[in-house]
Amino acid sequence: MLSLPFSCPPPKNTLSPFQKKPFSPSSSSVTCDRAIGKRNKSNSYLSISLPKLSKVLVSEASNAMPGDEEKEISAGTMDSPEEVELPAGLRRELMPNHVAVIMDGNRRWALERGLPVEQGHRAGGQAMTELTRLCSKWGVKVLTVFAFSTENWIRPKEEVDFLMMLFEEVTKTFSEEGARLNFRLSVIGDKSKLPKSLNQILARAEQALKANSGLHAVIALNYSGRYDILQVCQKVANHVKDGLIQPEDITQSMFEEQLETTGTKYPNPDLLIRTSGEHRISNFMLWQLAYTELYFVEKMFPDFGETDLIEALSSFQQRQRRYGGYKYSTSTN
């Protein structure tokens, strides 16, 4: 068992279900086996240690019980992001422009509590609503959520039907509140397989909120990263077939213009959050995640609340993004 003689701490196991590192109030687990957090010029590798957050509000999502009504998005005029005070430890200039979330763990959350799977999805919907509100409040410009993957069709029909119905409900609520909260809405994915009623509701919501200038919420429905790349390849191939371009004219920027995410001002996420402890991308936005900072949380998505989002953003703000170069920079895209 040879390795270089310089001592280093034993690897931290964040994938083990037995080892949890206590954090601020919510006792969430360490995100991944990293020894950063207080990266400094001397490169001392301390375990993750986020600054104490004096203004943390404990999330209500983990206390959601069946039968609770959906949390209402707070009424009243939203303050502009510049006016809202950020939680302690977060810096406005280092906020990510685009946050993406893989909302994993709804079913496991429900099964752990002996609840029907549908309740897990409803709780996930509530958590998503809260997440959208917080991102908007703190100046995130684009929020993409992975609501339904191309692989999810394999789930039981009852669950899929329920999810489609839930998406319709959430979209209607979003549409009603969106005008007041200045949200925009886009949907990415292969909509041809979605129910007609859902497509109609989504189209109406997109149209109604098109002129808004606040947070741009992007819902990935029947989406996969490979599907996105393949559809771009097929589009550019058709241009070649039609004689509009030559194969050697295909460039990366041409590709990026054709991706499903091209409609947003910041198409590539700065930060990806994945809940439920799985450390994988699961076929989500493969091209767009080339330089995205990944953040993994052990909690199931319905339990992901304000505290957890603050921790994720704080972790992001401490990272140094080099894009393969040498110059250290903490700025976002």
Partner 1 sequence: MALESKLKDNSTRMNKLYRFGMGLDMKNNSDGLVSRLFGNLVSSMRKFLFRILSVGPIPNHLAFILDGNRRYAKKWNLQEETGYKCGFWALMPMLKYCYELGVTYVTIYAFSIDNFKRGPKEVQCLMGLMQEKIEGLLEEESIVHQFGVRVHFIGNLKLLPESVKVGAEKVMKATANNNKKVLLICVAYTSTDEIVHAAQESCQRKWDEIREMKPGGGAHSFEISNESQEEEERRFIKLVDLEQCIYMGVAPDPDILFRTAGETRLSNFLLWQTPTCLLYSPGVLFPEIGLRHLVWAVLNFQRAYSYVEKKKKQL
Q: Does 65 participate in binding partner 1 (rule CB under 8 A)?
A: no
From 104, 206, 293, 308, residue interacting with partner 1 (rule: CB under 8 A): 293
Q: Which region, judged by CB under 8 A, interacts with partner 1, from 27-35, 69-77, 166-174, 214-222? A: 27-35
For partner 1, the closer of residues 57 and 237 by Cβ is 237
Stretch that binds partner 1, among 4-12, 163-171, 183-191, 304-312 (CB under 8 A): 4-12
Quick check: 35 binds partner 1 (CB under 8 A)?
yes
Tell whether residue 88 is a contact of partner 1 (CB under 8 A). Answer: no
Within residues 108-167, the interface with partner 1 by CB under 8 A covers: 151, 154
240 binds partner 1 (CB under 8 A): yes
Instruction: Please identify which residue in 62, 292, 314, 317 interacts with partner 1, judged by CB under 8 A.
Output: 292
Q: Is residue 257 involved in binding partner 1 (CB under 8 A)?
A: no
Q: Are 304 and 297 in contact (CB under 8 A)?
A: yes
Q: Which of 33, 68, 79, 104 is catalytic?
A: 104
3-state secondary structure the chain: CCCCCCCCCCCCCCCCCCCCCCCCCCCCCCCCCCCCCCCCCCCCCCCCCCCCCCCCCCCCHHHCCCCCCCCCCCCCCCCCCCCCCCCCCCCHHHCCCEEEEECCCHHHHHHHCCCCHHHHHHHHHHHHHHHHHHHHHCCCCEEEEEEEEHHHHHCCHHHHHHHHHHHHHHHHHHHHHHHHHCCEEEEECCHHHCCHHHHHHHHHHHHHCCCCCCCEEEEEEEECHHHHHHHHHHHHHHHHHCCCCCHHHCCHHHHHHHCHHHHCCCCCCCEEEECCCCCCCCCCCCCCCCCCEEEECCCCHHHCCHHHHHHHHHHHHCCCCCCCCCCCCCCCC
Cα separation, 320 vs 248, in Å, equals: 35
CB 166 within 8 A of CB 238: no
Sketch the per residue contact string, 192 through 231, with partner 1: x for CB under 8 A, - otherwise: --------------------------------xxx--xx-
- Pick one of 15, 50, 164, 194: the residue that binds partner 1 (CB under 8 A): 15
How near is the Cβ of 177 to partner 1 at its closest, in Å?
33
Q: Any contact of residue 9 with partner 1 (CB under 8 A)?
A: yes
Catalytic annotation on 104? yes
**Is 77 a binder of partner 1 (CB under 8 A)?**
no
Is there binding between residue 100 and partner 1 (CB under 8 A)? Answer: no
Q: Using CB under 8 A, which of 233, 244, 329, 330 touches partner 1?
A: 233
Kindly state whether residue 244 participates in binding partner 1, applying the rule CB under 8 A: no
Question: Judged by CB under 8 A, which of 238, 262, 329, 330 binds partner 1?
Answer: 238
Distances (CA, A) of 209 to 19, 141, 216, 240, 290: 45, 15, 10, 36, 30
**Contacts to partner 1 by CB under 8 A:** 1-6, 8-13, 15, 31-36, 43, 45, 151, 154, 224-226, 229-230, 232-234, 236-238, 240-243, 247-248, 250-252, 255, 278-283, 286-287, 289-296, 319, 321, 323-326
User: Would you please indicate which residues are annotated as catalytic (active-site) residues?
Assistant: 104
